[in-house]
Amino acid sequence: MARKNGSSGGFRIEHDSMGELRVPADALWGAQTQRAVENFPISGRPMPRGFIRALGLVKAAAAEVNAGLGLLPKTRATAIRRAALQVAAGEHDAHFPIDLYQTGSGTSSNMNANEVIATLATRGGRARIHPNDDVNLGQSSNDVIPTALRVSAQLAVVEDLQPALRHLRRTIERRARGLGKVTKTGRTHLMDAMPLTFAQEFGAWASQLGSAEGRIADALKRLRRLPIGGTAIGTGINAHPRFGRAMAQALSKLGGTKFEPAADKFEGLASQDDAVELSGQLNVLAVALMKIANDLRWMNSGPLAGLGEVELPALQPGSSIMPGKVNPVVPEAACMVCAQVMGHHAAVTVAGASGNFQLNVMLPLIAGNLLDSIGLLSNTMRLLADTVIAGLKVRRDNVSAALDRNPILVTALNPIIGYEKAAAIAKRAYREGRPVFDVAVEDSGLPAAELRRLLDPGALTRGGIQG
């Protein structure tokens, strides 16, 4: 990239191997970035902040490693590293304008980083820093972008998703401990079933989230393997033999989390199965969160004509026409987030299958959808924990009234009086709107004291044969 002196009309003239073109006078980028800006006016959505951060970290690590290997003068490496860390910190995000929907290798974003960092590193220095020869030394877009994808996703998971997931799980567990003796009607097929405690119901949610934690942590074992050092197709042309391993070590220090060199660089460039795997685990987490959010919506339904088991915190008026109406807005928003994450996973699945020979050609889409899913889920889990779970109130009067009338309690009598006689008692209790205990006293032939013991809802939550 060569630069001509002077500018006119708010532009300066830059050129690359394809010729000259105008670049905004105050832009830190150069010709190749400008071509991409003009070529991809698609969504108006640039690459995510987390991805730009990772690009900056990769370039800073590369400058440090190349200097350590004796391939880059220390003064140049220091200037590049300083500029790259500014990019990582978000100080120059306005100068990363390229659309998410761009060349499938992400070459445009790599050159965007190279050009911006070269411009910043050149300022105030004695030597001109070249975007390809210096900033991109020992690298190719084909290994930089898959590496930045993995670095950005792992950092987002470790810094945002895992803490939010633990926070929601622990908030649910804390509320469960306080509701361990409160018994309610269970439901299968949305119909009345045997009783359980709120602690058991909430505990199932917490266990779902705990399983999701484990799956995501396991996926990170493969995501942290970086293909940097493979350069163009995996052979490592133009890179020092120790470059890849040194890069993983440098990025581990810069990112504060463990990375390691990919054992097979060809796999790391051509296949993004580890990213698809992580997306799949985010999809499972979205499934769990939608289940939890919908349970909350049902439990809160009413307050008169629904289940009315809990009262969620009132956050805003629920209707522009019906005064006094309050809706479960956060669980509804959570369900929409989950639907979006599921859609992202479908797109990532297609993108992951779009590798041709030695390179996947939908890398920006994979990176964008992964980071969007991680961000949406992280924010949603904190919101559910703090504005819904922490503040919900159990409507014990409604819960007790429904439990007393639950004819399915008669299930506990099956081993003693038989299924058919128990069914007759249940149907009569339901038909007459009476507690099953009262009907059982009349029809079962069992003493009231024994029936009281057998039909005790609290005892029934512990399972086993009650006789």
Catalytic residues: 189, 319
Q: Which residues, 6 or more positions from 189, have their beta carbon under 8 angstroms from its beta carbon?
A: none
Q: Is 464 left (phi over 0), alpha (psi -120 to 50) or beta?
A: left
Amino acid at 247: M
Residue 319: exposure state from Cβ atoms within 10 A (0-12, 13-18, ≥19) = exposed
CA atoms of 404 and 382, how far apart (whole Å) = 36
Q: How far from 226 is each of 118, 234, 258, CA to CA, in Å?
A: 24, 12, 11
Q: Which residues, 6 or more positions from 263, have their beta carbon under 8 angstroms from its beta carbon?
A: 225
Q: Which residues, 6 or more positions from 133, have their beta carbon under 8 angstroms from its beta carbon?
A: none
Pick from 100, 137, 102: which is nearest to 118 by CA? 137
Write down the number of H helices and E strands in the chain.
Answer: 18, 11
Pick from 342, 311, 331, 340: which is nearest to 380 by CA? 331
Edge-first strand order for the sheet with 2-8 is 2-8, 11-16, 19-24
3-state secondary structure of 20: strand
> What six digits make up the tokens of 299?
């439990």
Pick from 100, 39, 106, 54: which is nearest to 360 by CA? 106
Pick from 90, 112, 84: which is nearest to 100 by CA? 112
Provide the 8-state DSSP code for 407: G
Q: How far from 206 is each of 185, 332, 346, 385, CA to CA, in Å?
A: 19, 20, 26, 12
Count of positions (residues) in the chain = 467
Residue 123: exposure state from Cβ atoms within 10 A (0-12, 13-18, ≥19) = exposed
Q: How far from 404 is each of 202, 216, 437, CA to CA, in Å?
A: 22, 42, 8
Q: Partners of 187 in the beta sheet?
A: 192
CA atoms of 12 and 315, how far apart (whole Å) = 52
Q: How many CB atoms lie within 10 A of CB 271?
A: 18
CA atoms of 149 and 146, how far apart (whole Å) = 5
